[in-house]
Structure 1
Amino acid sequence: MSAQQLWDNAASMLAVTEKHPFLVGMVNGTLSNDSFKYYIVQDALYLRDFADCFRRLAESAGSEEDSKQLQASAIGAIEAEMMLHGSFFKEWDNSAEGAKQMPHTLLYTSYLKRVVATRPHKQGLAALLPCHWVYMHVGKRMVKLREGLGECTNRLPQFDAWIDMYGGDDVEEKVKAFIKLVDAECKVATEEELKEMQEHFNMCCKLEHMFWDQASNQMEWPNLGGM
């Protein structure tokens, strides 16, 4: 089995996600700026925990080479994403400081942290893979959709910046490097381990979709007794 097979086995749900209204709305300019700002704040909060998961995986890697590659390819990608988010915050004159993780953000990060902390190294890699791979995949799809639409006066410049990054060559290079790490683990995994890796991969593909659902709806925690 390979990382590609993890992806192929999740093809039906990925086909739905690549058409998510949040993503399509970024391309055709129908996504509200408020939903995008909500998403960027939540994504910045998500990335902090995502980066922590990668630091932990780098520590548990089976070789110094793998540890360095995790830090170079994965953390490098996260830093690039945070720079993009930072540029948006500067333009909007706000930040993620003081913001709280909303329900699906907390659900996603909690799941990742649990897998990384309590399951074998290879399962942690499989759980973190969808975030990188799905973003690269939808980014490239969005580039093609944008090209097909031609000029769109409704699309905000921040939308184009997001599409350009995730549909670009730099992200693709880093994602492919991480896929190779997962491939190496797949080759030495037992049948039971591969099954668990697929389960984590599938779950995180679902959580990716739910993350964009949350932003589309600008979900908030329920107000229970004023708390």
Structure 2
Amino acid sequence: MSAQQLWDSAASMLAATEKHPFLVGMVDGTLSNDSFKHYIVQDALYLVRDFAYCLRRLAESAGSEEDSKQLQASAIGAIEAEMMLHNSLFKEWDIISAEGAEQMPHTLLYTSYLKRVVATRSHKQGLAALLPCHWVYMHVGRKCLLKLREGLGECINRPPQFDAWIDMYGGDDVEGKVKAYIKLVDAECKVATADELKEMEEHFNMCCKLEHMFWDQASNQMEWPNLGGI
């Protein structure tokens, strides 16, 4: 099995994600600003608090110094490069910061799953669990949104902040980093047992579902239920 086979195993889910109303709405200008604001705050919490942590944990369990350095660099990138975009969006839309914000239900579900896999399963399985976040974003940005935007032409209703997001995740820099991560997964696939490969596929598919649900949450601006202060 290879990383490409992991991707192919989730083909139906990925096809659904390509047509997600949040993503399509970002391109055609129908996505509400409030939904996008909800998304960028939750995404900042996801990246800085937990995704970067998971990458650092994987760096500690890597089989070579080279792989460890690559994963450490990815953790730094999750905090610095992506947050540069988030911080600019916070400023433009007068969002104070993500500090003090609470992870909403699907954010917590996703990050808790990643942290559990990284902490309790093999290095291979941890890499597979984090792969959808890398690959789905590149695919959506480069293969879907850029093409859809080109097809629609100029959209006067699309805020420039949406274009900034599309340009970042559809850019060459993100693609290069994702391809480097895919190579790490490919190397582990080559030496994994049949049972490990099955579990890697299960984690990859689950995190593809969680990626989709993360955008559901933003579309619906989901929050925790009000249980009388409990």
Q: Indicate which of 160, 163, 172 corresponds to 1:160.
A: 163
In 1, are the aligned partners of 2:51 and 2:78 still within 8 Å (CA)?
no
In 1, are the aligned partners of 2:56 and 2:75 still within 8 Å (CA)?
no
In 2, are the aligned partners of 1:126 and 1:200 still within 8 Å (CA)?
yes
Structure 2: 5+ residue stretches without partners: none
Structure 1 residue 78, shift from structure 2 partner: 4.6
Structure 1 residue 81, shift from structure 2 partner: 1.0
Deviation string, structure 1 residues 174-212 (Cα, Å, up to 9, x no partner): 000000000000000000000000000000000000000
In 2, are the aligned partners of 1:28 and 1:149 still within 8 Å (CA)?
yes
Identity of aligned residues (%): 90
Shift of the 97–74 alpha-carbon distance from structure 1 to 2, 3 Å rule, reads closer
Equivalent-residue separation in structure 2 for 1:196 and 1:226 (angstroms):
40
Equivalent-residue separation in structure 2 for 1:21 and 1:145 (angstroms):
13
TM-score by length of structure 2 reads 0.96
Equivalent-residue separation in structure 1 for 2:78 and 2:4 (angstroms):
20
Equivalent-residue separation in structure 2 for 1:73 and 1:216 (angstroms):
28
Shift of the 203–67 alpha-carbon distance from structure 1 to 2, 3 Å rule, reads same
In 1, are the aligned partners of 2:55 and 2:71 still within 8 Å (CA)?
yes
Structure 1: 5+ residue stretches without partners: none
In 1, are the aligned partners of 2:51 and 2:75 still within 8 Å (CA)?
no
Equivalent-residue separation in structure 2 for 1:117 and 1:199 (angstroms):
16
Structure 1 residue 225, shift from structure 2 partner: 2.2
Aligned with 1:127: secondary structure? Answer: helix
In 1, are the aligned partners of 2:13 and 2:209 still within 8 Å (CA)?
yes
Q: Indicate which of 129, 132, 145 corresponds to 2:131.
A: 129
Q: Indicate which of 201, 222, 225 corresponds to 1:222.
A: 225
In 2, are the aligned partners of 1:125 and 1:182 still within 8 Å (CA)?
yes
Deviation string, structure 1 residues 20-72 (Cα, Å, up to 9, x no partner): 00000000000000000000000000012000000111011111111011122
Task: Give the equivalent residue in structure 1 for 2:179.
Answer: 176
Deviates more, 1:69-78 or 1:160-169: 69-78
For this pair of structures, how many residues does the alignment match? Answer: 226
Equivalent-residue separation in structure 1 for 2:118 and 2:91 (angstroms):
33
Match runs of 1:37-116 below 5 Å? 37-47=37-47, 48-73=49-74, 75-93=76-94, 95-116=97-118
In 2, are the aligned partners of 1:73 and 1:175 still within 8 Å (CA)?
no
Deviation string, structure 1 residues 68-118 (Cα, Å, up to 9, x no partner): 11122453255211111011112123x111110000000000000000000
C-alpha RMSD of matched pairs (Å): 1.0
Equivalent-residue separation in structure 2 for 1:61 and 1:75 (angstroms):
16
Equivalent-residue separation in structure 2 for 1:75 and 1:126 (angstroms):
19
Aligned with 1:219: secondary structure? Answer: coil
1:191 aligns with 2:194: yes
Equivalent-residue separation in structure 2 for 1:74 and 1:9 (angstroms):
27
Equivalent-residue separation in structure 2 for 1:60 and 1:127 (angstroms):
15
In 1, are the aligned partners of 2:53 and 2:75 still within 8 Å (CA)?
no
Runs of 4+ in 1 over 2 A off after TM superposition: 72-79
TM-score by length of structure 1 reads 0.97
Equivalent-residue separation in structure 2 for 1:113 and 1:185 (angstroms):
19
In 2, are the aligned partners of 1:22 and 1:216 still within 8 Å (CA)?
yes
Structure 1 residue 221, shift from structure 2 partner: 0.5
